[in-house]
């Protein structure tokens, strides 16, 4: 749950006007419509998803540990960029492990994180990122 909560915090500290063009090669196309789901045959693995989330939580605590109320949007952007770069493979594992209906929400949430970290050209509307994060938090609260 920490991962999604960290996104809420960083979203609150970033406004749309401060988003620079991305400089990294990685791009991810994701649905940005909240409520979009994949076919039921695309199940994923909830237990694996929760284990990966726990590992990401531990990694995130290290990266975001020094951020506080006085941190600037640039500080959050740098921390998010560092977190994504250091944990990119694990973030991809998280998407793969997400149960079908959750998968597009996880993709949207992580794309928004990559965007805020300046690591993708993909753009996610703030309301779509918030809706995706709400779905992820609800799943994690119930299953993890």
pLDDT by residue (tens digit) across 71-106? 999 998 889 889 999 999 999 999 999 998 999 999
24 occurs within a structural domain: no
In a domain, 62, yes or no: yes
Q: How many Å apart are CA 21 and CA 69, to the nearest integer? A: 26
End-to-end CA distance of the chain: 8
What's the rounded Cα separation, in Å, for the pair 128 and 134?
10
Q: What is the pLDDT of residue 18?
A: 39
pLDDT at 98: 95
pLDDT at 30: 34
Length of the chain as a residue count:
144
Instruction: For residue 31, tell me if it sits in a domain.
Output: no
pLDDT for 43 equals 56
Which structural domain range is residue 123 located in? Answer: 47-144
Instruction: Report if residue 119 sits inside a domain.
Output: yes
pLDDT of residue 130: 95
> Is the model's pLDDT at 121 over the cut of 90?
no
Other beta carbons within 10 angstroms of residue 33's beta carbon come to 12
Whether residue 97 is contained in a domain is answered as: yes
Write down the mean pLDDT value for the chain.
Answer: 76
**129: confidence class by pLDDT, cuts 50, 70, 90:** very high
Over the stretch 17-66, which tens digit does the pLDDT of each residue have? 333 333 333 333 333 333 333 333 345 789 999 999 999 999 999 988 98
Residue 56 lies in a domain: yes
User: For residue 117, what pLDDT is reported?
Assistant: 81
Residue 15 has pLDDT above 80, yes or no: no
40 domain-assigned: no
Residue 70, in any domain of the structure? yes
> Domain total for the chain?
1
């Amino acid at each position: 749950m920490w991962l999604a909560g960290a996104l809420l915090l960083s979203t609150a500290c970033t406004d749309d006007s401060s988003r620079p063009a991305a400089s990294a090669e990685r791009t991810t196309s994701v649905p940005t419509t909240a409520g979009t789901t994949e076919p039921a045959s695309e199940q994923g693995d909830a237990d694996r998803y929760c284990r990966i989330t726990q590992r990401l939580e531990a990694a995130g605590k290290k990266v975001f540990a020094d951020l506080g109320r006085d941190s600037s949007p640039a500080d959050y952007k740098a921390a998010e960029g560092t977190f994504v770069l250091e944990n990119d493979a694990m973030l991809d594992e998280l998407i793969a492990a997400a149960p079908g209906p959750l998968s597009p929400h996880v993709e949207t949430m992580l794309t928004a994180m990559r965007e805020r970290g300046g690591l993708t050209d993909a753009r996610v509307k703030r309301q779509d990122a918030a809706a995706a994060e709400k779905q992820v938090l609800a799943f994690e609260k119930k299953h993890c």
